[in-house]
Amino acid sequence: MDPPRSVARDVLRAVRERDAYANLVLPALLRERGLSGRDAALATELAYGACRTLGLLDAVIAEGAGRPIEEIDGPLLDVLRLGVYQLLRTRIGAHAAVDTSVALARAEFGTGKAGFVNAVLRRAGEKTTEQWVEALAPADPVGRLAFEYAHPVWIAQAFADALGARAGELGDVLAADDARPLVHLVARPGDITAEELALVTGGEEGRWSPYAVYLDGGDPGKLEPVREGMAAVQDEGSQLVALALTRAALDGPDDGRWLDLCAGPGGKAALLGALAAIDGFRVDAVEPAAHRAELVRKAVHDLPVDVHVADGRASGLNPGYDRILVDAPCTGLGALRRRPEARWRRTPADVRELVVLQRELLTAAWDLLRPGGVVLYSTCSPHLPETVSIVADAVRRLGAEQLDARELLPGVTDVGDGPGAQLWPHRHGTDAMFLAALRKPR
């Protein structure tokens, strides 16, 4: 058996059968089977890549098999997806891609089904990726780009809507979403600088956050600064959201009562806690799920952060906070590049439920905010119903004063026309984070 391809196949199977998360399953399998170096890199590329490009792969498989994918046995479909991904999206030779896939099928299912895999893959290899796109993609521009870059059409349309007058960048957004992202580290303020972290890890200092470092690959968990809690994995866009909260102008003094109302799994709470510690401030962090609250505790274990297991809509906390972060649960459309299977799980129906929750959390935060204080609302999604619509509703209902969030991102260019700010992977190299700052009138 081919160990890297066996691991990738098993990741696809776990995602399909158990709705597992590839980025959780894969590291465990690599450790369990002792894969490292080039073998681990190949398994990672095949597993994540096939998860990302599922829509394109399934269309080609259906064409090659002459039947809908629903009529193909699931375990066989995993092998086919793995083979077609190698044929269309990697530099692996066609002979190797077909032979290794046929071997996987033969070992598990016998000669008959191995012959079926062989036939489908040879059909798939008769055309290049570009030729398959030409043959199978919808005619409309958004649908064609969605197919080419392996996104559901509704997500591509949501990105186009958010880009507005610059919807011509849709292909660039989808391409950035479809590429392997860099690993972003955050240097904990007060413990290590980004310059020091870059030197220790061999990384590169970030463009936008003073605490960001970029890594091209490898396992960040093996890095000494990460093991010792001086650094952590955190997208640079998330760092900018936490920093923006601390930079917003209050009406009146900052008495150092800060709140992260949607804290799990704890990355932003940890950065806020490190910044609060410098000034002798404290942070409350709220997370309703006990297991995620435990993740927050681990992330902030030596920082001035108090973790509360509670629903942010009814936290029971005393009002009077100076600064509140509402990093609301969302569709996560802005972080699809880091969650390879997520794009195929989300549906438009998810948005309706989340919008209600987002509105309720923002209202609860408003009630906990002191007059003159600031709520920073953010989502890792650019989808308009989750971003500008939620904020416009809050301004109307609550009488909030919306600040210009672009001013809270000094040096960061091209974040929109204001007053909210939108980060994009193709412009900034970050997740597509949205943020808006609302101040409570005195």
Catalytic residue set:
380
Binding site: which residues? 262-268, 287, 311, 327
Greatest C-alpha distance within the chain: 76
**Alpha helix (H) ranges present in 232-289?**
236-247, 267-279
Binding site for S-adenosyl-L-methionine: which residues? 262-268, 287, 311, 327
Q: Confirm if 53 and 150 have CB atoms less than 8 A apart.
A: yes
Residue 264 phi/psi, 5-degree rounding, is -65, 140
Q: Which of 223, 241, 235, 225 is nearest to 185 (CA)?
A: 235
What count of other Cβ atoms lies within 10 Å of the Cβ of residue 240?
26
Q: Give me the amino acid identity at 37.
A: G
Terminal alpha carbon distance of the chain: 69
Quick check: helix, strand or coil at residue 437?
strand
C-alpha count within 13 angstroms, C-beta hemisphere, residue 377: 34
Give the strands of the sheet with 231-233, arranged side by side.
204-205, 212-215, 183-187, 231-233
What count of other Cβ atoms lies within 10 Å of the Cβ of residue 335?
23
